């Protein structure tokens, strides 16, 4: 396996995904979308999930990972036959990067309080949104609380380092979603669902969302009347515009706008594109996504690109990644870079190892690691993300990464049953953590190290219990604040035999 390939678990024959894998996909969350999820009272689900339902993506046999080689995807994404920043240390001599994060660096003091527990940030949607539960707590205190939370859960297994926080913890979200509605007196509003309801709370500026994205959403709202575009009514199915999703490339500045419509036709489409781009020439692609179902999921299956390439690119750790509308991409690019660098460091690679990147999304961790590994085997369930991953490897000239579209548990079971081994396993599962099937297969593959990236310390603790009961020892845990002002926390944990 020395070239970029995509292998599904399914050469030829169609087969539905197992109930277990399907359930797992339905529980899928990333920490950031959980915030959205909270806002919608658990209504917002991983957007690709329903779609995945219909796709034969896995094999039912134990050699799925090998048999799949018959079905390749070339770097153009066609199936052969048949989906941290330049953070400046505060300069204290002798201090390692991870050690100063809880200190009150000057910038943070100026902007977010002086270590007193309260701070003065105000958001009009605060209580109704439910996203920023730590809004009234100083940033230092937030980091302290998050560390305590992780330390409490991981206490039986390892030490937990101070949380790596942000110097500028506002407006970090590179993905912004707004739902559109109309008030009783006919005024068009855009914003978020009130927590636990389907009532829309207007939001003009969100403290944690990218500001350009918010401006684009406001301007789209302002254009609707003159274009005679009605907002969609979830109860009656009448109207057109349901949601707007904006994704911003942190380093590249490229911007994707997804207009989620109740039916496929956008009146005066070309004029709309022209008018929007006049206001925001920085928009690089505009997509119509059709979601005409009675569902609380944001994105539907059908898409058409009405401007640009249909995806954006961004840079992480010196590599370029393309991101399409339905692929997972970490919402806080600044912290992601730091997190990935730590994950690669913890893997302790020498250039020879056989590495697995499980739950690889658009291929980021495997690609960032590839220059320090012998070979990387990456597995991911979402077809769109795998397609992005294949192109990302090609785009970055990487030849030692293979991609498999499959359920990670089934895939690793196949490898384990074939007696395969691995030197290092990176795993970055969704919120619910990994399955026992996956974990037992990791143990059979007997890697020297497991680098576990988690957006949910509770499922991390549960999985650590299993791994440590089967011969692995947790070396330590390093939390990264990917979601300032929310209760969420990302942690990387390293285990060895």
Q: Where on the chain is the footprint of ligand SAH (CB under 6 A)? A: 21, 24-25, 28, 30, 328-330, 359-361, 364-365, 379-382, 385, 407-408, 428, 430
Whichever of 125 and 358 has its CB closer to ligand SAH, that residue is 358
Find the shortest distance in angstroms from Cβ 485 to ligand SAH. 21
Among candidate residues 210, 221, 272, 263, the one with its CA nearest the CA of residue 240:
263
Find the shortest distance in angstroms from Cβ 372 to ligand SAH. 17
Please give the Cα distance from 361 to 369 (Å, whole number): 14
Find the shortest distance in angstroms from Cβ 20 to ligand SAH. 9
Whichever of 171 and 326 has its CB closer to ligand SAH, that residue is 326
371 DSSP 8-state letter: G
Per-residue CA distances from 4 to 83, 90, 399, 401, 402 (Å): 14, 41, 6, 6, 5
Per-residue CA distances from 489 to 200, 223, 380, 457, 492 (Å): 27, 37, 23, 8, 10
Find the shortest distance in angstroms from Cβ 427 to ligand SAH. 9
Please give the Cα distance from 192 to 468 (Å, whole number): 41
Whichever of 213 and 453 has its CB closer to ligand SAH, that residue is 453
Please give the Cα distance from 245 to 178 (Å, whole number): 6
CB 376 within 8 A of CB 402: yes
Find the shortest distance in angstroms from Cβ 231 to ligand SAH. 30
Classified as helix, coil or strand, 378 is strand
Find the shortest distance in angstroms from Cβ 283 to ligand SAH. 23
Residue 310, φ and ψ in degrees, nearest 5:
90, 0
Residue 100, φ and ψ in degrees, nearest 5:
-95, 0
Whichever of 221 and 250 has its CB closer to ligand SAH, that residue is 250
Whichever of 221 and 383 has its CB closer to ligand SAH, that residue is 383
**Which regions of 455-489 does DSSP assign to beta strands (E)?**
473-480
Two tokens, residue 131: 């996203």
Catalytic residue positions?
Answer: 455
Find the shortest distance in angstroms from Cβ 381 to ligand SAH. 4
Burial class (CB in 10 A: 0-12, 13-18, 19+), 168: middle
CB 450 within 8 A of CB 442: yes
Whichever of 252 and 292 has its CB closer to ligand SAH, that residue is 252
Exposure on the CB side of residue 415, measured as CA atoms within 13 A: 31
Whichever of 190 and 456 has its CB closer to ligand SAH, that residue is 456
CA dihedral 167, 169, 175, 181 (to 10 degrees): -160
């Amino acid at each position: 396996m020395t070239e970029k390939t995509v292998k599904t678990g399914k050469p030829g024959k169609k087969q539905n995904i197992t109930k277990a894998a399907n359930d797992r996909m339905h529980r899928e969350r990333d920490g950031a979308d959980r915030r959205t999820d909270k806002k919608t009272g658990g209504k917002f689900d991983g957007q690709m999930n329903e779609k995945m339902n219909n796709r034969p993506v896995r094999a039912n046999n134990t050699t799925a990972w090998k048999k799949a080689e018959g079905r390749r995807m070339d770097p153009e994404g066609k199936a052969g036959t048949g989906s941290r920043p330049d953070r400046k240390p505060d300069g204290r001599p002798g201090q390692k990067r991870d050690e100063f994060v809880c200190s009150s660096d000057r910038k943070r003091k100026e902007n977010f309080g002086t270590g007193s527990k309260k701070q003065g940030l105000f958001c009009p949607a605060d209580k109704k949104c439910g996203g920023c539960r730590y809004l009234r707590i100083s940033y230092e205190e937030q980091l302290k609380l998050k560390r305590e939370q992780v330390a409490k859960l991981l206490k039986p297994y390892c030490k937990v380092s101070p949380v790596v926080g942000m110097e500028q913890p506002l407006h970090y979200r590179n993905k912004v979603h707004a739902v559109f509605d109309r008030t009783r007196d006919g005024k068009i509003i855009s914003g978020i669902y009130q927590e636990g309801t389907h009532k829309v709370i207007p939001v003009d500026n969100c403290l944690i969302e990218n500001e350009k994205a918010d401006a684009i959403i406001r301007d789209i709202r302002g254009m609707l009347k003159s274009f005679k575009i009605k907002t969609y009514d979830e109860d009656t199915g009448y109207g057109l515009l349901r949601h707007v999703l904006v994704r911003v490339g942190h380093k590249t500045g490229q911007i994707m706008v997804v207009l989620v419509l109740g039916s496929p036709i956008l009146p005066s489409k070309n004029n709309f594109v022209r008018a929007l781009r006049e206001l925001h020439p920085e928009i690089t692609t505009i997509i119509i996504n059709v979601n005409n179902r009675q569902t609380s999921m944001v994105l539907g299956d059908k898409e058409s690109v009405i401007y640009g390439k249909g995806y954006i690119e961004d840079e992480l750790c010196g590599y370029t990644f393309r991101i399409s509308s339905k692929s997972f991409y970490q919402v806080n690019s600044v912290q992601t870079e730091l997190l990935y660098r730590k994950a690669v460091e913890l893997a302790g690679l020498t250039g020879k190892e056989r590495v697995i990147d499980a739950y690889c999304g658009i291929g980021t961790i495997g690609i960032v690691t590839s220059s320090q590994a012998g070979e990387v085997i990456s597995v991911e369930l979402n077809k769109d993300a795998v397609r992005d991953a294949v192109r990302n490897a090609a785009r970055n000239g990487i030849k030692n990464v293979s991609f498999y579209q499959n359920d990670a548990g089934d895939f690793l079971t196949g490898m384990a049953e074939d007696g395969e081994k691995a030197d290092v396993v990176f795993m970055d599962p969704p919120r619910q953590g990994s399955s026992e099937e996956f974990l037992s297969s990791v143990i059979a593959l007997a890697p020297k190290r497991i680098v576990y990236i988690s957006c949910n310390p509770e499922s991390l603790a549960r999985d650590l219990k299993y791994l440590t009961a089967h011969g692995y020892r947790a070396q330590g845990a390093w939390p990264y604040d990917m979601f300032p002002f929310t209760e969420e926390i990302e942690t990387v944990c390293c285990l060895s035999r």
